[in-house]
Amino acid sequence: MKICIIGATGHYGYVLEGLEMERQRQEELNISKKDEYTSNCQYAGIADIVGIAPGSQGEDITPLVKRLMQSNPSICVYDDYCKMLDEIKPDIAVVCCYFADQAKAAIEAIKRGIHVFMDKPVATTFEDLELLKKFYYNSNVHLAAMFGIRYTPWFLNAKEYVDNGAIGKIRLMNAQKSYKLGRRGEHYKNRNIYGGTIPWVGTHAIDWLHWFSNEKFISVYAAHSNLYNSDHGDLEVSAICSFVMTGEIFATVSIDYLRPATAQRHDDDRIRIVGTEGVIEVRDRKIYLTNKFTSGTEEIEVAEDYKENIFCDFLAQIRGEKKCMVSAEDSFYVTEAALLARTSADEKREVRFL
Amino acid sequence: MKICIIGATGHYGYVLEGLEMERQRQEELNISKKDEYTSNCQYAGIADIVGIAPGSQGEDITPLVKRLMQSNPSICVYDDYCKMLDEIKPDIAVVCCYFADQAKAAIEAIKRGIHVFMDKPVATTFEDLELLKKFYYNSNVHLAAMFGIRYTPWFLNAKEYVDNGAIGKIRLMNAQKSYKLGRRGEHYKNRNIYGGTIPWVGTHAIDWLHWFSNEKFISVYAAHSNLYNSDHGDLEVSAICSFVMTGEIFATVSIDYLRPATAQRHDDDRIRIVGTEGVIEVRDRKIYLTNKFTSGTEEIEVAEDYKENIFCDFLAQIRGEKKCMVSAEDSFYVTEAALLARTSADEKREVRFL
């Protein structure tokens, strides 16, 4: 399968990691991958990246191109991603350009019958989201947003505990996204390009709420602020969202870019889920469970075999092996929720879902 | 100083603990307290409880009476607290009856020029709150709500860190109250008596937001549910509140009664405060700080001498020694915020503060 990358801005790392995992699996099966290259931009074998182009005006893809050339010196580099899609005819387009341009690039791929693995949010405006959905539902491609945090051992294992009834019925969820700010590129400073912190950072947490509970959103009340953002223009560095979900389930999301530079990791992702029969928490890449079978609160050992990769899962669906855990419906729905939360914060009012 | 207790429902424990601390201090000063009792209901010396009466119809004060009699067999037990206040003329009334009756009892004390140490919320309706404020502001008494969690070593020490600039300017706060439900008395099951979970449990967390930040509330959006409350009538067992505060500071409050019976402690009180220069958290009765002076996130050793008691602080103000950390203004303001949050949850809409 041929893969083309549009953009070099977001989480293409999932793709590189996933392909590396595939390579290792192939090596274990004693297949020599190098032998399978036939010519420049021609590839007949397992999935690999064969082309790359910027997805946004002014986007610098040079560092990623250099990195990709180390493993595939014959990779094709284009200025125009439409031309790349037309000439290479890839099976998969990875879309990870400036956030406001992603929907457009994804639509160009869908129009050509190319599967789309794209960064979240899948759109930064309601108009783009509707267009993207329209093209998707008139196609036969698979599309998934990069909700890769689901696949971390701690979240995946926690999800299995919840699904197996470890906490009974979910009643309350508190999700947290906290990032170091550092120095961000110009595309973070302009709302029209960036899309906002609730869609960019918060989308992950909003995805968890929907994913863990399988419930729908009824209303959202949100707030965000770009005060104290260290000269990052429009970039909001603090935000909260409150969601009322079906079944009188409530959820809070706390988002910030104020994690100190001295902190151990870039992110401080958390979720605490309170159920009728217990409480489960993901914090510091660990899982804590309290229920009638635990002695107080216990740390759950995260199973080693829970190391999964979202792009491998995406590939598996395209190969017809299984359903990808992130559906296009999830990708659209969570993006819509994030955009409605942003509207709530912008307009300082509750927003109801239809 | 003479103390009378009205009710035996809430957190009179602060008073018993505070008086025990006073006794120990006195013993260290070699003052024999017993010698100071002069006759039944006559007391000329340090603070002690000399009378008790129920504050609500049907309130059973017997267990507390028995307990108090162990240290003071001559304690006076009344059926009618107004008669008790008139006859004993105490310096201080401790009000801890059914929550909806507290404001009324406090007003009776204030009318007689008696200082009031009362459970939170100080009122369960806006009408009662206004009446209470009216009487208070026309008196010379001191009044404080039992915001005793402020005085725990972990909260008090964290507050000092914040005040000393350890996290810079506060931008975001996430507060949590989580309790075991157990089997609650009938007065928890009727909203008209109980007042609601946001006022009863959430008030503490709302107090922290105001106390830590010194900011005002601008708006609140809240939700609560009495589903899965194990046959506790109106009692809401899950709730969230989102506050927008002055300075574009945002705060979430998560409240539940769903903490499993197997959990180590009754409560799981937490606050996470994100500032421009660091993050501080109170969790599991510990303090965690991340800022430019810490190596990653560090646990802050809680200073031993931070063990304080709210009632001792209250007594100190009455004795003219210092200002009590909990003011009447705080007590009123935080109660009002809790009632407005309850309105938001009841009416499923944002509520703005005046």
Q: Which of B209, B224, B255, B262 to substitute to test the interface with A, most A CBs within 10 Å?
A: B262
pLDDT score of A26: 77
pLDDT at position B286 over 80: yes
ipTM of this predicted structure: 0.94
Determine the average pLDDT of the residues in A45-62. Answer: 91
Query: Is A292 within 8 Å of B261 when comparing Cβ atoms?
Result: yes
State how far Cα A304 lies from the chain centre: 22
Encode pLDDT of B117-159 as tens digits: 999 999 999 999 999 999 999 999 999 999 999 999 999 999 9
Asked if A254 and B252 come within 8 Å (Cβ–Cβ), the reply is: yes
Question: Which residues in chain A have their CB less than 8 angstroms from residue B250's CB?
Answer: 223-225, 238-240
CB contact under 8 A, B242 and A240: yes
pLDDT recorded at residue B25: 80
CA distance A24 to B127: 71
pLDDT range class, residue B30, cuts 50, 70, 90: low
Q: How far is CA B105 from the centre of its chain?
A: 16
Q: Which residues of A touch B169 (CB under 8 A)?
A: 228
Q: How confident is the model at residue A44 (pLDDT cuts 50, 70, 90)?
A: very low
Q: Stretch B67-96: mean pLDDT, rounded?
A: 96
Q: In the prediction, which pLDDT does B34 show?
A: 53
Beta carbons within 8 Å of B219's beta carbon, 6+ residues apart: A348, B243, B244, B350, B351, B352, B353
Does pLDDT of B44 surpass 90?
no
Cis peptide preceding A90, ω within 30 of 0: no
CB atoms within 10 A of CB B283: 16
Per the CB < 8 Å rule, is A274 touching B221? no
In Å, how far is A127's CA from the nearest CA of chain B?
A: 27
User: What is the percent of chain A with per-residue pLDDT over 70, rounded to a whole number?
Assistant: 95
Query: What integer pLDDT is reported at residue B307 of this predicted model?
Result: 74
Task: Tell me how close the Cα of B291 comes to any Cα of chain A, in angstroms.
Answer: 6
Which candidate in B170, B276, B293, B299 is best for mutational testing of the A interface (most A CBs within 10 A)? B276
CB B295 within 8 A of CB B304: no
CB nearest to A259's CB, from B244, B264, B279: B279
DSSP letters, A79-131, are: S-HHHHHHHH--SEEEE-SSGGGHHHHHHHHHHTT-EEEEPSSS-SSHHHHHH
* Cα–Cα distance for residue pair B124/B99, rounded to 1 Å: 7
Q: What is residue A75's predicted lDDT score, i.e. its pLDDT?
A: 95
Q: How many angstroms separate the CA of residue B187 from the nearest CA in chain A?
A: 23
Q: Do A263 and B178 touch (CB under 8 A)?
A: no
Of A275-289, A329-343, B60-74, least confident by mean pLDDT is B60-74
Q: Which of A99-108, B20-29, B304-313 has the highest mean pLDDT?
A: A99-108
Give the residue with greater pLDDT, B74 vs A23. Answer: B74
**Arithmetic mean of pLDDT over chain A:** 94
- Taking CA–CA distances from B245, the nearest residue in chain A reads A223
- Helix, strand or coil for residue A145? strand
Average pLDDT, chain B: 94
What does the pLDDT read at residue B35? Answer: 52
Q: Choose, out of A262, A291, A348, the residue to mutate when testing the contact with B (most B CBs < 10 Å).
A: A262
Of B225, B264, B290, the CB nearest to A296: B264
* Inter-chain touch A248–B238, beta carbons under 8 Å: yes
- Which of B167, B198, B229, B250 best tests the A interface by mutation, with the highest count of A CBs <10 A? B250
Cα distance between residue B76 and residue B177, in whole Å: 36
How high is the pLDDT of residue A103? 98
Tell me what pLDDT residue A11 has.
94
Mean pLDDT of B62-89: 95
Query: What is the pLDDT, as a whole number, of residue B329?
Result: 98
Q: How confident is the model at residue B114 (pLDDT cuts 50, 70, 90)?
A: very high
pLDDT above 90 (res A321): yes
Q: How far is A242 from chain B (nearest CA, A)?
A: 7
In this model, does residue A35 exceed pLDDT 90? no
Average pLDDT for A137-148: 98
Name the residue among B221, B225, B297 with its Cβ closest to that of A242: B221
Q: Are residues B242 and A223, on separate chains, in Cβ contact within 8 Å?
A: yes
Q: Is the pLDDT of residue A340 over 80?
A: yes
Tell me the pLDDT tens digit for each residue of A162-200.
999 999 999 999 999 999 999 999 999 999 999 999 999
**Residue A36 clears pLDDT 70, i.e. is over it:** no
Per-residue pLDDT for B39 more than 50?
Answer: no
Nearest chain B residue to A166, by CA: B260
* Sign of the dihedral through C-alpha B302, B305, B307, B313: negative
Write the residue in B261, B274, B348 that is nearest to A258 by C-beta: B274
Domains of chain B from N-terminus onward:
2-141 (3.40.50.720), 149-305+328-352 (3.30.360.10)
Alpha-carbon distances of B32 from A309, B29, B41, B48, B74, rounded to whole Å: 73, 9, 18, 14, 17
pLDDT at A311 over 70: yes
Give the chain A residue whose CA is nearest to the CA of B266.
Answer: A296
Residues A211-233 have pLDDT tens digits of: 999 999 999 999 999 999 999 99
